[in-house]
């Protein structure tokens, strides 16, 4: 059995027990990367040398008892929108094609302090804008379950790398579903934590008020363990929240007796693929059989989430991405006359079409005369959506639904119709708007052999509820990677 088929926690245990060295673990990951990367393109940058060097350092620290974390020595892949000192960080954009950060993102530092070994940086939709990883300037990532299909996005590289065992686990980021949707498409588990739980310092911003970093792994145990390592108050991030309950692994108990689970009727209406619907409802049944109280309810304003999201995220993005101008770092056009021409050409050549679309949309909704009608209205909608969830969480501990309306679409099918692509975010987006935690866990495959994801949503700061429910559900299944399906 390959070391890469182990979960991160299992591999960590073997390393601690001296059954496996860190170097062996890293070499196993590199071997898998070399075997499948040509076909899948999960990574933008693989740092083989750095990883092997780091493996030796970490091994010493484990041997002398300095490093005791369950993740010590376990190889990880980082989404390419988190800054890593001295390691290329591109956001899968041409405009950052040569950008080497001078500092490391706080979430990544937290992982490094737990003894993680970074293998490289994973592919994504350019600046996390997209749901398929096809908007990357460095080629699309393919779904390891079926290479004619997309892995989802924007954390498609991270999720595909976990599914293809090109890393033991990965970090992704989620602004409107970018961890949960590709986790669902790739048959892996991913958590989007409560806004403010993981520091955003060093995460290259897309929609600042919505972005959160989170774990992607083979199972719930891994995800809870990784989240425990990366979460924490950070004084460098003003939106970071001081919490008392970072012990997420304490929720890994196989007991959902009395847990109240609400199933929003609106999540099972038109547009939802029948096979996805059946698999998700079957999962609800499993939880009910294990003692949870499951009932349907009416969640309001579901249809308003997508328009509100695309106004808010695009507005923030239009401002966040203005720093990429060819002056200080990143891509600068070769021939230009004067400052404004340099700005214009560098940005025209450096950004891809989806990013440009959202910058234009965002600039429009913030412009004078439209601000009230679009941006302010979207903010008010966001507040109302949060209220709808507040009402629901007065009755329920967990909200259950699909992570995406379909399984992974075919390559090339989505970009031709961006509106349809945007509508695919319907079940994930409101979670970001309300700042809630959400998890996607595999709950079966469709007739094409593509994975289906179950989404569990918790109230703010109640990650433990969704971890507990997801863990209990997971105990009824065995992990199936794409390999077993081939």
Partner 1 sequence: MAKQYETVIGLEVHVELATKTKIFCGCSTEFGGAPNTHTCPVCTGMPGSLPVLNKQVVEYAIAVGLATNCTITQYCKFDRKNYFYPDNPQNYQISQLYLPICRNGGVEIDTPAGKKIIGIHEIHMEEDAGKLVHDEWEDCSLVDFNRSGVPLIEIVSEPDMRSAEEVIAYLDKLRLIIQYLGASDCKLNEGSMRADVNLSVREVGATEFGTRTEMKNLNSFKAIARAIEGERARQIELLEEGKQVVQETRRWDDNKEYSYAMRSKEDAQDYRYFPDPDLVPIVISDEWIERIRKAQPELRTEKLERYKKEFDIPDYDAEILTSSKVLADLFEATTELCHKPKKVSNWLMVETLRLVKENDMEVEDIDFSPENLAKLIELAESGAINSSVAKEVFEKIFKEDIDPDKYVEEKGLKSVNDEGALRATIEKVIADNPQSVEDYHNGKEKAIGFLVGQTMKAMQGKANPGMVNKILKELL
- The site string for partner 1 over 189-228 (x = CB under 8 A, - otherwise) reads -----------xxxxxx-xxx-------------------
Among candidate residues 178, 183, 199, 318, the one labeled active-site is: 178
- Cα separation, 360 vs 426, whole angstroms: 22
Closer residue to partner 1 (CB): 80 or 140: 80
Is 485 an interacting residue with respect to partner 1 (CB under 8 A)? no
Pairing verdict, β 438-445 and 451-458: antiparallel
Is 249 strand, coil or helix?
helix
Is 368 an interacting residue with respect to partner 1 (CB under 8 A)? yes
**What phi, psi does 419 have (nearest 5°)?**
-60, -40
Is 237 an interacting residue with respect to partner 1 (CB under 8 A)? yes
Closer residue to partner 1 (CB): 225 or 318: 318
Q: Which helix (H) or strand (E) holds 54?
A: helix 48-63
Is 367 an interacting residue with respect to partner 1 (CB under 8 A)? yes
Degrees, nearest 5: CA angle 81-82-88: 80
- Cα separation, 416 vs 410, whole angstroms: 12
Is 79 an interacting residue with respect to partner 1 (CB under 8 A)? no
What six digits make up the tokens of 44?
A: 């933008």
Is the separation of the CB atoms in 241 and 233 below 8 Å? Answer: yes
Is 422 an interacting residue with respect to partner 1 (CB under 8 A)? no
In the list 101, 115, 151, 453, the residue contacting partner 1 (rule: CB under 8 A) is 101
Q: Is 79 an annotated catalytic residue?
A: yes
Is the separation of the CB atoms in 445 and 479 below 8 Å? Answer: no
Q: Is 250 an annotated catalytic residue?
A: no
Stretch that binds partner 1, among 311-319, 352-360, 423-431, 446-454 (CB under 8 A): 311-319
Closer residue to partner 1 (CB): 83 or 229: 83
- The site string for partner 1 over 318-357 (x = CB under 8 A, - otherwise) reads xx--xxxx-xxx---------xx--x--------------
Residues in contact with 38: Cβ distance below 8 Å, sequence separation at least 6, in sequence order: none
| Least Å from the CB of residue 115 to partner 1 | 23
| Polymer length in residues for the chain | 486
Residues in contact with 104: Cβ distance below 8 Å, sequence separation at least 6, in sequence order: 83, 84, 85, 112, 202
Reference 366, options 325, 324, 322, 327; nearest CA is 322
Closer residue to partner 1 (CB): 105 or 276: 105
Stretch that binds partner 1, among 53-61, 96-104, 150-158, 430-438 (CB under 8 A): 96-104
In the list 238, 416, 447, 478, the residue contacting partner 1 (rule: CB under 8 A) is 238
| Least Å from the CB of residue 346 to partner 1 | 11
| Least Å from the CB of residue 327 to partner 1 | 5
Q: Is 377 an annotated catalytic residue?
A: no
Dmax over CA atoms of the chain, in Å, equals 70
- Helices H / strands E in the chain, number of each: 15, 11
Q: Is 288 exposed, middle or buried (0-12, 13-18, 19+ CB in 10 A)?
A: middle
Closer residue to partner 1 (CB): 265 or 323: 323
What six digits make up the tokens of 24?
A: 């062996």
| Least Å from the CB of residue 83 to partner 1 | 5
Closer residue to partner 1 (CB): 371 or 423: 371
Is 91 an interacting residue with respect to partner 1 (CB under 8 A)? yes
Pairing verdict, β 75-79 and 169-174: parallel
Is 169 strand, coil or helix?
strand
Is 100 an interacting residue with respect to partner 1 (CB under 8 A)? no
What six digits make up the tokens of 110?
A: 């937290």
Closer residue to partner 1 (CB): 71 or 315: 315
- Cα separation, 231 vs 127, whole angstroms: 23
- Cα separation, 208 vs 215, whole angstroms: 19
| Least Å from the CB of residue 330 to partner 1 | 8
**What phi, psi does 151 have (nearest 5°)?**
-90, 0
Among candidate residues 36, 79, 142, 158, the one labeled active-site is: 79
Is 119 an interacting residue with respect to partner 1 (CB under 8 A)? no
| Least Å from the CB of residue 241 to partner 1 | 10
- Which residues bind to partner 1, rule: CB under 8 A? 81-83, 89, 91, 96, 99, 101-103, 105, 200-205, 207-209, 235-239, 315-316, 318-319, 322-325, 327-329, 339-340, 343, 363, 366-368, 371, 375
Residues tagged active-site: 79, 154, 178
């Amino acid at each position: 059995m390959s070391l890469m088929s182990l979960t991160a926690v299992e591999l960590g245990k073997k390393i601690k027990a001296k059954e496996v060295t860190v170097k062996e673990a890293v070499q196993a990951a590199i071997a898998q990367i070399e075997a499948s990367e040509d076909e899948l393109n999960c990574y933008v940058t693989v740092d083989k040398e750095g990883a092997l060097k780091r493996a030796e350092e970490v091994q010493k620290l484990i041997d002398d008892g300095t490093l005791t974390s369950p993740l010590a020595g376990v190889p990880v892949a980082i989404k390419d929108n988190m800054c890593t000192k001295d390691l290329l960080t591109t956001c899968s954009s041409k405009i950052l094609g040569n950008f080497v950060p001078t500092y490391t993102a706080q979430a990544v530092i937290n992982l490094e302090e737990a003894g993680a070994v970074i293998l490289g940086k994973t592919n994504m939709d350019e600046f996390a804008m997209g749901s398929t990883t096809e908007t990357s300037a460095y080629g699309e990532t393919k779904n390891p379950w079926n290479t004619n299909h997309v892995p989802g996005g924007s954390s498609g590289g991270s999720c595909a790398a976990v599914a293809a065992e090109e890393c033991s686990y990965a970090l992704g980021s989620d602004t409107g579903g970018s961890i949960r949707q590709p986790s669902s498409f790739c048959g892996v588990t991913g958590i989007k934590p409560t806004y403010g739980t993981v520091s955003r310092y060093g995460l290259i911003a897309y929609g600042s008020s919505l972005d959160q970093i989170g774990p992607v792994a083979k199972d719930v145990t891994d995800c809870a363990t990784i989240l425990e390592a990366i979460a924490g108050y950070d004084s460098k991030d003003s939106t970071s929240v001081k919490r008392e309950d970072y012990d997420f692994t304490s929720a890994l108990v196989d007991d959902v007796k009395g847990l109240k689970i609400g199933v929003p009727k609106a999540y099972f209406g038109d547009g939802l693929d029948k096979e996805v619907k059946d698999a998700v409802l079957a999962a609800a049944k499993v939880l009910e059989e294990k003692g949870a109280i499951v009932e349907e309810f009416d969640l309001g304003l579901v249809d308003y989430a997508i328009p509100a999201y695309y106004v808010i995220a695009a507005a923030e993005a239009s401002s966040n991405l203005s720093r990429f101008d060819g002056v200080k770092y990143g891509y600068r056009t070769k021939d230009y006359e004067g400052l404004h021409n340099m700005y214009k050409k560098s940005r025209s050549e450096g950004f891809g079409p989806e990013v440009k679309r959202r910058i234009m949309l965002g600039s429009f909704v913030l412009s004078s005369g439209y601000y009230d009608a679009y941006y302010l209205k979207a903010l008010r909608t966001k507040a109302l959506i949060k209220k709808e969830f507040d009402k629901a969480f007065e009755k329920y501990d967990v909200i259950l639904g699909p992570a995406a309306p379909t399984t992974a679409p075919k390559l090339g099918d989505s970009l031709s119709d961006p509106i349809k692509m945007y509508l695919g975010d319907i079940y994930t987006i409101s979670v970001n708007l309300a700042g809630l935690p959400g998890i996607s866990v595999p709950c079966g495959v469709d007739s094409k052999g593509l994975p289906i994801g179950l989404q569990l949503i918790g109230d703010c700061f109640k990650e433990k509820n969704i971890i507990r429910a997801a863990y209990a559900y997971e105990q009824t299944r065995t992990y199936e990677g794409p390999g077993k399906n081939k």
